Amino acid sequence: MSAAGGSGPGSVVEVSWLAEHLSDADLRIVDASWFLPTDHRDAQAEYRAAHIPGAVFFNIDAIADTKSGLPHMLPAPAVFAASVGALGIGDGDRVVVYDQPGLYSAARVWWSLRTMGLDRVSVLAGGLRQWRSEGRPLASGEETPPTRHFTPHFRPDLVRDRAQVLSALQRGNSQIIDARAPGRFAATEPEPRPGVRGGHIPGARNLHFASLVDQIRGRLRPAAELQAAFTDAGIRPEAPTTLLCGSGITACILGLALDQLGHARWSVYDGSWADWGAHHELPITH
């Protein structure tokens, strides 16, 4: 899923590149910061306090299917297109997505834009943390770019729902990777959402997203280390793969890692364990 066109960055871009291209007419920058409720942080307020110049704020919980009962599910393509168009993102644009910690929620927005048909979208390595550490300029307040037209081209191969995951499980033709912490995967730690069972989908492999991220630098680990992490977890990155996590945020980090390894046969279970674990008729194991 490298950027199309053969020029510019791929799915990950360095701070130095962004700094050099900050004034490009076709460049759009997105602050995709999102925090767990237990973090007691307001991502949008922090965006208003300081962001990369020109960046707009992508509210993961608002640009979503708010009627699904599940957190931050992808909305219908037309709704998504109107929302990102209102952020000034249009056809033909190149988008760089970042978050405050470095690499956490940015991958979710990268995946969302790719799923809706945007080819030229990248994650900023190190995010706002790296940008700040290099002494790069910051802006405050809200950015209000003119509305642009975004034509969605939905890519169903990048997303899975509950029925599709169950069907793949029954056929045994897709490996499943769970990005949650080992304690939640093994049901030795409680699930944070009421009514959601502990455990995991039978046959799933556990690869905690944090093991793929250099926590000091806020970016993916080198390719050799990513490959080793998948191998050690008993995962074949080149095989058809379904990714899930607690609610569809950190599974996208695994997708970004697979992309960096050159593998494209993966999809994200939108709804993830918040969906599967809440349906007591579905199989689980510990």
Q: Which residues are catalytic?
A: 245
Query: What are the beta bridge partners of residue 175?
Result: 241
How many Å apart are CA 203 and CA 283, to the nearest integer? 11
User: Looking at the chain, which runs of residues are DSSP E strands?
Assistant: 12-13, 27-31, 56-57, 94-98, 121-124, 159-160, 175-178, 205-206, 213-214, 219-220, 241-244, 266-269
Burial per residue of 108-130, b for 16 or more beta-carbon CB atoms within 10 angstroms, e otherwise: bbbbbbbbbbbebbbbbbbbbbb
Largest pairwise CA distance in the chain: 53
DSSP-assigned states of every residue in 199-213: SB-TT-EE--GGGGE
How many Å apart are CA 99 and CA 97, to the nearest integer? 7
- Order of strands, edge to edge, in the sheet holding 241-244? 159-160, 266-269, 241-244, 175-178, 205-206
Rounded to 10 deg, the angle between the 251-260 and 106-115 helix axes is: 70
Q: Which residue has the tokens 């191969």?
A: 157
Rounded to 10 deg, the angle between the 223-232 and 251-260 helix axes is: 120
How many Å apart are CA 159 and CA 112, to the nearest integer? 9
Start-to-end CA span in the chain (Å): 34
How many Å apart are CA 108 and CA 197, to the nearest integer? 24
